Amino acid sequence: MTELDQLLQLMVRLRDPETGCPWDRQQTCATLVPHTIEEAYEVADAIAREDWAELRAELGDLLFQVVFYARIAEEEGRFNFADVAGGIVEKMTRRHPHVFGNAYYADAATQTAAWERIKAAEKADKGESPTRVLNGVPRTLPALTRAVKLQKKAAQVGFDWGAVEPVLAKIAEEIGEIRHEIAMQAPPERLSDELGDVLFSVANLARYLHLDPETALRGTNAKFERRFRQIEGWLAERGYTPAQSTLAEMDALWEQAKMAERK
């Protein structure tokens, strides 16, 4: 058997109602969702750390999730793994006529627009009525990622600034509004609303800069963690902990950590 065949058979064994694993047998598509999301983030983490051995393992965990869903669906008489694999091959072939057909697109932007037209035509062929502009953006996406996707969809019908400067001005405006609410001692729900506006505007800036805000924030998180751990190390050499140090001391060490990274 191929490695994929072995994996499919392994899942059959795990789900066997008599000799399988109790935990695996009791899972449903719904209960697997949190595990799938976690595995996807672990793939992203391995890539961010450029740990290729770990990435190989994490991709295996993610593939296991796909096989798990397919097996549950097969048991319920809905579809099987072959249907999943065949379906994505057929869809990707259909949506890449510039690769598998005679179509020609001058650049990625033109190809992306064509992709959306093909998707719309597929829905029409299925008899689906036209959807509203913002439909199809999963609510379970990370908030910053979902903000960018909503903005992209709105931009496709012309609801967009058209340049980066108005976006920067909007960020400044939203920061001004939250400053006002803080000064007015607004309730938490009002502050949350204004903070959301700031973050939404920042996500829009990321879109204009062709950057992924989640990736940018993960990078900053890693940078903060790296520098703070360096501060802890330096303080430990002096016999102190962060809790036993002043803000001024830690701030000076923070600047030292920044300078050390630039060398």
What is the tens place of the pLDDT at every residue in 109-167?
899 889 888 888 887 788 766 678 898 899 988 999 999 999 999 998 999 999 999 99
Whether residue 231 contacts residue 253, with contact meaning beta carbons closer than 8 Å, is answered with yes
pTM for this prediction: 0.72
Name the residue among 78, 71, 83 with its Cα closest to residue 8. Answer: 71
CA–CA separation, 38 and 136 (whole Å): 22
**Contact residues for 84 (Cβ-Cβ < 8 A; gap 6+):** 66, 70
How far is Cα of residue 188 from the mean position of the Cα atoms in its chain?
A: 27
The CATH architecture annotation of domain 143-211 reads Orthogonal Bundle (1.10)
CA angle 103, 120, 90 (to 5 degrees): 60
Whether residue 210 contacts residue 221, with contact meaning beta carbons closer than 8 Å, is answered with no
| For the chain, domain boundaries | 3-93, 96-125, 143-211, 216-262
Query: For residue 58, what are the CA distances in angstroms to 6, 179, 207?
Result: 18, 43, 28
The CATH architecture annotation of domain 3-93 reads Orthogonal Bundle (1.10)
What would the pLDDT profile of 43-59 be if each residue is shown by its tens digit?
988 998 899 999 999 99
| pLDDT surpassing 80 at residue 40 | yes
Whether residue 181 contacts residue 190, with contact meaning beta carbons closer than 8 Å, is answered with yes
How far is Cα of residue 45 from the mean position of the Cα atoms in its chain?
A: 11
CA–CA separation, 151 and 68 (whole Å): 34
CA angle 233, 234, 235 (to 5 degrees): 90
CA–CA separation, 23 and 120 (whole Å): 41
CA–CA separation, 22 and 72 (whole Å): 14
For residue 155, the model assigns a pLDDT of 93
Structure tokens at 111: 């190809």
For residue 48, the model assigns a pLDDT of 85
For residue 220, the model assigns a pLDDT of 94
For residue 121, the model assigns a pLDDT of 85
Backbone φ, ψ for residue 247 (5° rounding): -60, -40
Structure tokens at 220: 């900053």
What would the pLDDT profile of 55-92 be if each residue is shown by its tens digit?
999 999 999 999 999 999 999 999 999 999 999 999 99
Q: Is 207 exposed, middle or buried (0-12, 13-18, 19+ CB in 10 A)?
A: buried
Alpha helices in 209-262 (DSSP H): 213-237, 247-262
For residue 126, the model assigns a pLDDT of 81
For residue 140, the model assigns a pLDDT of 86
Mean pLDDT throughout 16-37? 96
Whether the domain at 3-93 and the domain at 143-211 fall into the same CATH topology: yes
Whether residue 50 contacts residue 62, with contact meaning beta carbons closer than 8 Å, is answered with no
What would the pLDDT profile of 199-254 be if each residue is shown by its tens digit?
999 999 999 999 999 989 988 999 999 999 999 999 999 999 999 999 999 999 99
Give the lowest-confidence range in 3-12, 66-75, 181-190, 213-222. Answer: 213-222
